[in-house]
Amino acid sequence: NAGVTQTPKFRILKIGQSMTLQCTQDMNHNYMYWYRQDPGMGLKLIYYSVGAGITDKGEVPNGYNVSRSTTEDFPLRLELAAPSQTSVYFCASSYDRVDGYTFGSGTRLTVV
Amino acid sequence: AQTVTQSQPEMSVQEAETVTLSCTYDTSENNYYLFWYKQPPSRQMILVIRQEAYKQQNATENRFSVNFQKAAKSFSLKISDSQLGDTAMYFCAFMKLMNRDDKIIFGKGTRLHILP
């Protein structure tokens, strides 16, 4: 099993550009999450999904969008990138949550 | 609302020593789960240990163990015989499981340095 796979690992965007961060898992997990982690800080939840076709906002959703058309994939879309979106982005998934989350290796995004 | 507090932003210990990281949480729930995650410089988030609140026995995983004090709402992590590879950010986390929208709540982390 590959676990949770995030692509790309690094990306530099110019202000106003858009991009999609990809996240896929092969563990048949129902629950999926997107977090951002600013330098030296903890994790902030952007969006989450409890199953295919269902998404919901976390604590910092502004400037982002998600979709969950399949169980495996949970892409995060950044529209009109801003310097405040410079961060490391983590995708995570879980089957039933009681065993915690499995995290991807993260995407380091810089907006200049 | 549930909160998780890690009162030690940063700690340093010598290799082979034992270190304890503190965590307290606030909840009115009786059944919940607690976790410790490790984030080394590679930035990968790794689950270190988990505890189910209804189990009184403290969880252990090799050199890692917890001291779970339910009444005090305390969940500290003890690392025995610390190694250089234990250098990382450690996050304490809490989750109740009442409905599908319940999520893990993370503390702000403790940065641990193991010194040679």
Residue B73 in tokens: 């709402």
d(CA B76, CA B26): 14
- For B17-53, the pLDDT digits (tens) are 999 999 999 999 988 999 999 999 999 999 999 999 9
Domain containing B37: what range? Answer: 3-115
pLDDT bucket at A1, cuts 50 / 70 / 90: low
Is B91's pLDDT higher than 80? yes
A45/B33 touch (CB, cutoff 8 Å), yes or no:
no
Among A14-18, B2-6, B63-67, B75-79, the minimum mean pLDDT is found in B2-6
As a whole number, mean pLDDT of residues B40-69 equals 95
Q: Please tell me the distance from the alpha carbon of residue A48 to that of residue A93, in angstroms, as a whole number.
A: 9
What pLDDT score was predicted for residue B99?
87
- Residue A107 and residue A24 in contact, taking contact as beta carbons nearer than 8 Å: no
DSSP H or E segment with residue A50: strand A43-51
Rounded Cα gap, residues B115 and B17, in angstroms: 10
Residue B100: the pLDDT is: 87
Question: Are B37 and A92 in contact (CB < 8 Å)?
Answer: no
Say if residue B98's pLDDT is above 90.
no
Burial state string for A64-82 with b = 16 or more CB within 10 A and e = fewer than 16? bebebeebbebbbebeebe
CA distance B67 to chain A (A): 19
Q: Residue B97: which pLDDT band, with cuts at 50, 70 and 90? A: confident
Residue B26: its pLDDT value, please?
A: 95
Considering its fold, how many domains does chain B have in total?
A: 1
Q: In Å, how far is B70's CA from the nearest CA of chain A?
A: 18
Check pLDDT > 80 for residue A76: yes
CB contacts < 8 A (A, B)? 49
B69, two tokens: 């004090």
Out of A48, A105, A106, whose CB is closest to B103? A48
Residue of B nearest to A50 (CA): B100
Residue B90, domain CATH = 2.60.40.10
A4-60 pLDDT per residue, tens: 999 999 999 999 999 999 999 999 999 999 999 998 888 999 999 999 999 999 999
Which architecture characterizes domain A4-95 according to CATH?
A: Sandwich (2.60)
Q: Quick check: A82 contacting B, CB < 8 Å?
A: no
Which A-chain residues 2-21 have CB contacts (< 8 A) with chain B? none
Q: What pLDDT shows up at residue A40? A: 82
Count the neighbouring beta carbons within 10 Å of the beta carbon of residue A9. 10
| Nearest beta carbon to residue B95 from set A45, A58, A97 | A97
- Please list every residue in chain A whose beta carbon sits closer than 8 Å to the beta carbon of residue B46: 103
A101/B43 CB distance under 8 A: no
Mean of per-residue pLDDT scores for chain B: 95
Q: Is the pLDDT of residue B1 over 80?
A: no
Write down the pLDDT at residue A41. Answer: 86
**Does the beta-carbon distance from A98 to B33 stay under 8 Å?**
yes
